[in-house]
Structure 1
């Protein structure tokens, strides 16, 4: 006959496959500490400030709270516990890297937006933006005029900032109430424009206030961003399919 096993021995034997109590917490603390150390060694130029350490403590608390359910809701085998701990450590690492490099990722997102939307001005640095040429080879940029988005064709051949009638109406200028006293020589003959003042015009971080402009009498496909704007810049240049504006 096979002797009956002592239930106490059976309980002790079954616990060998679990991972409980202080060992789990020690592993979590050691894993997070090792992760921080590795990140600081790999990226020495990214020193953690006081705010970063506060965020790290918050992140660690979240990981500990989420993983604590593994200990108190059921017994977890060692292999599964290690796997779950590795998953949480990976999530923590991704969040920490994302927070540390949030400014760089923002720049990548801005550049990606510039590739997908060529009319979007991409900020390169303080007072410097880049505009990508469209498929037709022209530079079109979405600027904010009096707080409203307006699409402009950048035109060095235009002396003024010229708004089409539709854009002017959206900005609150009623063409029916304007005086079209200016004359322009265009490819289609002589055109007329009405002088107005723009409260503000912004292309990315480049902002000018109280700008003179004109509202064109005839309909236009796009408003024009001419020399009235470009002359106020410190410089502008074309590099291949990119237009760089600096102030």
Structure 2
């Protein structure tokens, strides 16, 4: 324990001694006295646990509150982006497509980055008008998508310029970062419940 923690523990013990003295000075029945002693003993035990494991408790609270609010899912450390695994088991990242904030699922099984038609239009993506769409096989069947180009995709401190993307209305609300972005990085890996993205030697990614 630190010096501050020791001081707090001394105050807690002192408070317990005062409470015990007050209990014994009162004229109450033996059964009630035992109940009061057990209750205050439990409170004291909670104080001990709180003082001994306060860092661990704060870490757990931070993680739980992050899950509930969606905050603290990603953190930039230098030029590295660390993304915490979400409750659904996936890795989600808040990125910027041109200037539009967009939430992406990172999927190493996807060859190309994909966006919904509505999000692509809001971000000002250049979408091909070719009459020959790209046919993609998804978990929900085949989807016809149009090719496009993201002028600027920023993920943490990393920026990709003129990144190919496929766009389709059938993607619903799912935007996916695929291998055509991940392969441009210096490295990417999963460490426990975190995904770590590292830029190449030269930034921005081109």
- For 1:206 and 1:135, the matched residues in 2 are separated by 25
- For 1:231 and 1:176, the matched residues in 2 are separated by 24
Residue 121 (structure 1) aligns with: 74
- For 1:208 and 1:121, the matched residues in 2 are separated by 18
C-alpha deviation, 1:239, in angstroms:
1.1
Matched, 1:199 2:112: no
C-alpha deviation, 1:195, in angstroms:
0.7
- For 1:144 and 1:170, the matched residues in 2 are separated by 12
Do the aligned residues in 1 keep the contact of 2:126 with 2:148 (CA within 8 Å)?
no
- For 1:202 and 1:143, the matched residues in 2 are separated by 6
Structure possessing the higher radius of gyration over alpha carbons: 1
Change (3 A) 1:202 1:151: same
Of structures 1 and 2, the one scoring higher in RCO (CA 8 A, sep 6+) is: 2
- For 1:239 and 1:150, the matched residues in 2 are separated by 24
Matched, 1:172 2:139: no
Residue 96 (structure 2) aligns with: 144
Q: Which has the higher helix share?
A: 1
- For 1:189 and 1:175, the matched residues in 2 are separated by 22
How many residue pairs get matched?
135
Which structure 1 residue ranges, 5 or more long, are not aligned? 1-110
Which structure 2 residue ranges, 5 or more long, are not aligned? 1-61, 200-206
**1:112-146 deviation digits (Å, cap 9, x = unpaired):** 9x945357531112x21101111111101110011
TM-score, normalization: structure 1?
A: 0.49
- For 2:71 and 2:183, the matched residues in 1 are separated by 23
Do the aligned residues in 2 keep the contact of 1:121 with 1:203 (CA within 8 Å)?
no
Q: Which has the higher strand share?
A: 2
- For 2:88 and 2:81, the matched residues in 1 are separated by 21
Do the aligned residues in 1 keep the contact of 2:92 with 2:103 (CA within 8 Å)?
yes
